[in-house]
């Protein structure tokens, strides 16, 4: 297996570090100084102040991104009701996002494609702004990109370890942002399918149990998330809900 950083120069690594560092400073400044927007304020009063954010046991609203509410509740409890304290989960997610993203981009051999992808996925305001807000979209994207990194490695290596990390990242992504549920559910069986195909070809002989567990263990978490999403749909509080005439 070739190193994923093969073909990536030290200068590129430095430029990447400077770029993500500057954006990180911007996001921290924004998280500290930007007043709470309406959705953030709603989540604060509904879920952080009450400490009730578990699905079906808390106020029902699509704004309750479970992991985001948890991090906001924890930040509020530790640092007090400061905007940056509520947003600390999203700020930390930015670190995970850039590390996983760079690991994926290093697999691209063409420098132009690599840097175009970097520019699009870091500088897009509709994406990076969420890492400075008390919303679940930044968290969801960070966990999904981390899961995607291990998904790619699993496809390349047929690694049971990567399959487990992919399953974990997928579940965390879904519980940060329910809209990722269909995508994560579609990708979930792929590692096991590839492994069984390898066994049929006589290439893979170990790791079947781990691959099966990586698929089966997250199923209750997916089922619970889907059940809550359908609950929101019935209340017309979810983007999956049909439009009214």
pTM for this prediction: 0.86
Query: In degrees, to the nearest 5, what angle opens at C-alpha 190 toward C-alphas 131 and 242?
Result: 60
Rounded CA-CA distance 102/97 in Å is 8
Question: How many Cα atoms sit within 13 Å of 241 on the Cβ side?
Answer: 16
pLDDT at 26 (0 to 100): 93
* Tokens read off for 20: 């993500």
* Tokens read off for 49: 């102040």
Question: What is the distance, to the nearest Å, from the Cα of residue 79 to the centroid of all Cα atoms in its chain?
Answer: 24
For the chain, count helices (H), then strands (E). 13, 0
Rounded CA-CA distance 170/218 in Å is 9
Q: How confident is the model at residue 236 (pLDDT cuts 50, 70, 90)?
A: low
* Tokens read off for 104: 């994926």
- Positive or negative CA dihedral for 62, 67, 72, 77? positive
Quick one: which of 16, 32, 212, 20 has its CA closest to 114? Answer: 16
Note the pLDDT tens digit of each residue in 104-140.
998 888 888 988 998 888 888 888 889 999 999 999 9
Residue whose structure tokens are 């930044």: 138
- Taking only Cα atoms into account, the Rg of the chain, rounded to an integer number of angstroms, comes to 20
Note the pLDDT tens digit of each residue in 37-46.
988 999 999 9
Average pLDDT, the chain: 85
Quick one: which of 30, 24, 212, 44 has its CA closest to 135? Answer: 44
- Positive or negative CA dihedral for 133, 90, 139, 108? positive
């Amino acid at each position: 297996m070739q190193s994923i950083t093969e073909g990536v120069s030290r200068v590129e690594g430095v430029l990447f570090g400077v770029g993500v560092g500057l954006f990180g400073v911007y996001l921290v400044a924004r998280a500290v100084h930007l007043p709470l927007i309406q959705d953030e304020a709603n989540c604060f009063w509904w879920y952080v102040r009450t400490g009730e954010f578990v699905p079906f046991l808390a106020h029902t609203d699509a704004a309750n991104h479970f992991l985001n509410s948890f991090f906001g509740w924890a930040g509020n409890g530790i640092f007090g009701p400061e905007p940056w304290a509520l947003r600390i989960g999203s700020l930390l997610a930015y670190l995970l996002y850039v590390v996983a993203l760079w690991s994926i981009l290093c697999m691209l051999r063409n420098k132009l494609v690599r840097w175009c992808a970097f520019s699009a996925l870091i500088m897009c305001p509709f994406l990076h702004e969420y890492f400075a807000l008390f919303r679940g979209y930044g968290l969801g994207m960070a966990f999904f990109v981390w899961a995607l990194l291990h998904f790619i490695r699993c496809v390349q290596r047929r690694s049971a370890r990567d399959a487990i990390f992919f399953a974990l990242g997928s579940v965390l992504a879904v519980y940060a942002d329910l809209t990722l549920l269909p995508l994560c559910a579609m990708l979930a069986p792929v590692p096991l399918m590839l492994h069984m195909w390898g066994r049929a070809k006589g290439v893979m002989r170990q790791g079947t149990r781990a691959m099966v567990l990586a698929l089966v263990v997250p199923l209750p978490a997916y089922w619970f998330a889907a059940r809550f999403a359908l609950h929101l749909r019935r209340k017309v509080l979810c983007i999956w809900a049909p439009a009214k005439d």
